[in-house]
């Protein structure tokens, strides 16, 4: 029996990655670093989950040492810039997300988040898209800064399941990336994938179903059939 939906955030609930890239670049500029991540750069760096981890990877690729830079402070500044940018504009949910959340709430299903992004970014997205605090919409939130290993490790999904008080067989994950799919599957979850602008073309072998967007699912009845 399906009892919970567990959503990824960036690329799944909304197409946020371009806003993240803008926030990174503006933060780099304000810190005098002279870095500018192009779309191709960011597409490549997204195969590493977590903003701090992406910065460390980039520094290493540039021939530097991550230990020479205060990466947590830089990333903290980037998160602040991202939330400011988010508050300035209208960032819609991806097609089908709103209807699916509404249907799940009407059916008394539990809603959860399992993401590599920070809690602050989840809060910013929920405030912009719903005008409410994140925990009023998603009573269970497991974020990347709460676990030892980020996706594709299963940690964040295992944390979400622990907080839901459910076995993996009673929930299903919704993702947009191969790393997210691997994380969900490693936690024992079936996973629905809807590729985002930055993840289209990745290998989604092992997904329960891959759809263009969540309108193509056919609602909760179709999702229930996936796990029975």
Please list the active-site residues. 8, 10
CB under 8 Å to 216, separation ≥6 — which residues? 96, 194
- Judge contact between 197 and 12, C-beta under 8 A: no
Q: Which letter does DSSP use for residue 149 in this model? A: S
Structure tokens at 215: 């309108």
13-33 as b/e, with b when 16 or more CB fall inside 10 Å?
A: bbbbbebbbebbbbbbeeeee
CA torsion through residues 107, 170, 197, 121, sign: positive
């Amino acid at each position: 029996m399906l009892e919970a939906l567990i959503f990824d955030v960036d690329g799944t609930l909304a197409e946020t990655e371009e806003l993240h890239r803008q926030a990174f670049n503006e933060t780099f500029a304000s810190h005098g670093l002279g870095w500018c991540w192009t779309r191709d750069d960011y597409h490549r760096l997204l195969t590493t989950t977590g903003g701090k981890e992406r910065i460390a990877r980039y520094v290493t690729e540039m021939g530097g040492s991550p230990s020479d830079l205060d990466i947590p402070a830089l990333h903290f500044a980037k998160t602040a810039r991202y939330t400011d940018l988010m508050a300035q504009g209208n960032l819609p949910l991806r097609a089908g997300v709103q209807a699916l959340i509404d249907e799940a709430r009407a059916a008394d299903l539990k809603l959860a988040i399992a993401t590599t992004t920070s809690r602050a970014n989840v809060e910013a997205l929920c405030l912009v898209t719903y005008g409410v605090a994140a925990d009023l919409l998603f009573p269970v939130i497991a974020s990347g800064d709460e676990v030892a290993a980020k996706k594709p490790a299963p940690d964040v999904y295992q944390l979400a399941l622990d907080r839901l008080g459910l076995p993996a067989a009673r929930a299903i994950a919704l993702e947009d990336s191969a790393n997210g799919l691997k994380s969900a599957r490693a936690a024992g979850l079936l996973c629905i994938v809807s590729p985002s602008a930055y993840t289209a073309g990745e290998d989604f072998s092992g997904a329960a179903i891959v759809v263009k967007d969540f309108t193509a699912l056919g609602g909760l009845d179709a999702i229930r059939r996936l796990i029975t």
